[in-house]
Amino acid sequence: MKKTLFFTLIFFLILPVFSQTHISTESHQSSVTNIVMMNKNGGLDTSFLSTGDDGFIVKWTGDNLGEHYQISDVGIKLVAISPNGNDIALYESDGGSINKITVWDWTTLKRKYMKKFSDSITALTFSANGTYLIAGTATVDGAIFIRTSNWQIVDKLKTNTSIVNYIQTSDTEKTCVMYSPSGNLSYFDMQNGKLKQKLNVIQGLTQTLLFNNNYFLAGVRDNTIYIINAFKGTIISTVKTTNPIILSSPTDNNLYYLENDEKGNYELKMLENMENKSVSNPRIIKSFKGPRGQNSICSGTKNFTNIFLGSRNGTIYKADTEASITTTNLQEITKKAYSKIYDIASNDKNEFYFINDNSIYISSYKTGFVEKISDSMGQNKIISYKGNLILWSKSSKQSVSILSIDNKTTEELFTPKNSIQNLQLFSVNDNDYLVEIESNSEVNIYDFKTKKLRNIYSGTGIQDAVLANDNKVYISKSSSTLPLVPLICVDINTYETVPISLTGNVAFGLSTNGNMIYGIYLQSNEEVKSTYVFSYNISNKMISNILKFSDEDSEAFTYLSNSTLLTNIGKNKVYNYNISTKKRFSYDRTASIPIKTVQNTENVAILNSNGSISWCNNTSANILSDWYLTIDNQWYEF
């Protein structure tokens, strides 16, 4: 094996964010995870926040307009708003290894604090005066206290709390009460850190809430709402329900909740406080017709006489608590105005193609005219190829086909055996090839001349693959699988496999000009986590680090066009790096995280996670405009 040279010329990335929100009536792109009131000025502000599994946070105002901003590329599971009305704490998680708390200043869209956790977060709240951000963790240590004046963790309590899913402080911040699903309601003295009282209560409650001046604790278990005397720990009422969502806040005297029979029928019900001793039987306030199945209501809150609800498909609804005997339809405040773009590609005429749910179009920044080329035929990815388009679908076994733009006909190229993870086009020695990855385990190559698909490499943990001018496929992978390196090359004729001496846990996001390989790799251990953009010279075997981001970014990409390398390392910017001069600048992101770029002789087009396109100048950091495709196939420019 030839020795690999390693050269480091790193630009360290410091990421101030100068971003902007996007105001529209659009819904979330996936399930709404939380709805919380902003509650500025003592609760007089009727605006509220919604968060989603799409990583967006949206501030909704009384005119039903939402101020959208994508915080994360994973779901936002919990949210807490500081009493100052500006700081917003979030728990971001992919449901697996990614678990972190971040705090953002909503007025500047800048992140003020971030901490990663190895376990999930079970509760998140600010203390009554905002002195502390308190988080419950899924460990025996339980809750942690973060002082907001310097964002440092402090030892506030003398004993571990164990796992808790509800935390609330008194208005004076002298007492903190926590509910543990193991069946404890504990009161702590925040001045001396000692446990004041521990009550044995029912186990396994979710949607826990103190209400009625903290007299009552409510929670749900097995489609039953339990009302507990919060000072004695005794159950004062149990109410059988169907898929309940508790809507009340701690300031409510009565408990409001929404029932759903899974057939599109909803009932708003109320348990009335009876002189702080008991609650009434359920009283039906009103009935609604609403979404069902995968679109059903999954979150909500009550504010005075208003109720705001979120669904599994991202829609936001509004209702009120005025009693009625008439069944009405839930009122949507979100309205679909835009069509999401899933992929873009450029041609040699400074035009670009894009694909949405139904169709494929051609347009250009100069004209702004949108022309439909063809139906999308259920595909969601496109590759420009000699005046034609190659159509394929990510995470699907759907056939790969080629669309003739001139005569609007399609021809099937091949059908994958497993779901396609990635597909790229390459030209080597006047031959054209598609390099395909299936299910992280196979690298295949399709020869346009022979019209045959053949396997080049099989393994595990495969991330990406590119074909270079030396007739070798360079494959990025996890270094935890044999061979124990994150980058290998395979000769497409002899199938000889050679490991490349790139260090790191995993490599991905490859691109090539035929002679140089560019990509991303992660180096991670318990103390240090870094992401690098690297280059590999196939002639002299030299590896060079180009950019470094001092954190993990497992979704970063590289895109190569002539002497320009584009990458979104760090998520919040797209970096334009000139390979010849080694100079760089960056394009600030807008309301959504960038996920792909294409470039022609005039512009850079950035495809964002929400399906919008940001147009940029090739030679400067100027963002020219943001384009959203309307549902009637016209561009709406911001």
Confidence of residue 527 (pLDDT cuts 50, 70, 90): confident
Residue identified by tokens 């309940």 is 244
The pLDDT score that the predictor gives to residue 1 is: 35
Same-domain check for residues 442 and 587: yes
219 and 206 Cβ atoms separated by less than 8 Å: yes
Same-domain check for residues 481 and 615: yes
Cα–Cα distance for residue pair 628/341, rounded to 1 Å: 9
The pLDDT score that the predictor gives to residue 638 is: 85
Same-domain check for residues 333 and 426: no
For the segment 46-65, what is each residue's pLDDT rounded down to a tens digit? 899 999 999 999 999 989 99
Is the pLDDT confidence value at 6 over 70?
no
* Mean pLDDT value of segment 448-477: 97
**Average pLDDT taken over every residue of the chain:** 94
Same-domain check for residues 452 and 316: no
Same-domain check for residues 313 and 447: no
Residue 102 is assigned to a structural domain of this protein: yes
Residue 261 is assigned to a structural domain of this protein: yes
Confidence of residue 18 (pLDDT cuts 50, 70, 90): very low
Residue 124 is assigned to a structural domain of this protein: no
The pLDDT score that the predictor gives to residue 7 is: 42
CB within 8 Å of 623: residues ≥ 6 apart: 587, 588, 590, 614, 615, 616
Same-domain check for residues 580 and 439: yes
Burial (Cβ within 10 Å: 0-12, 13-18, ≥19) of residue 315? buried
Residue 189 is assigned to a structural domain of this protein: no
559 and 544 Cβ atoms separated by less than 8 Å: no
Residue 76 is assigned to a structural domain of this protein: yes
What residue numbers bound the domain in which 309 lies?
238-337
Same-domain check for residues 308 and 436: no
Is the pLDDT confidence value at 307 over 70?
yes
Q: Of the candidates 111, 139, 169, which is a domain's last residue?
A: 111
Confidence of residue 40 (pLDDT cuts 50, 70, 90): low
Is the pLDDT confidence value at 13 over 80?
no
Confidence of residue 523 (pLDDT cuts 50, 70, 90): very high
Same-domain check for residues 325 and 427: no
Is the pLDDT confidence value at 611 over 50?
yes
Same-domain check for residues 507 and 633: yes
The pLDDT score that the predictor gives to residue 604 is: 96
Cα–Cα distance for residue pair 135/89, rounded to 1 Å: 10
* Mean pLDDT value of segment 158-181: 96
Is the pLDDT confidence value at 3 over 70?
no
The pLDDT score that the predictor gives to residue 17 is: 41
Residue 315 is assigned to a structural domain of this protein: yes
Residue 467 is assigned to a structural domain of this protein: yes
Q: Of the candidates 111, 143, 166, which is a domain's last residue?
A: 111
* Mean pLDDT value of segment 370-378: 94
Q: Of the candidates 111, 129, 152, which is a domain's last residue?
A: 111
Number of domains in the chain: 3
* Mean pLDDT value of segment 75-103: 96
Is the pLDDT confidence value at 9 over 70?
no
The pLDDT score that the predictor gives to residue 119 is: 95
Which one has a higher pLDDT value, 7 or 260? 260
Query: At 605, which CATH number?
Result: 2.120.10.80
Same-domain check for residues 451 and 322: no
Residue 277 is assigned to a structural domain of this protein: yes
The pLDDT score that the predictor gives to residue 44 is: 63
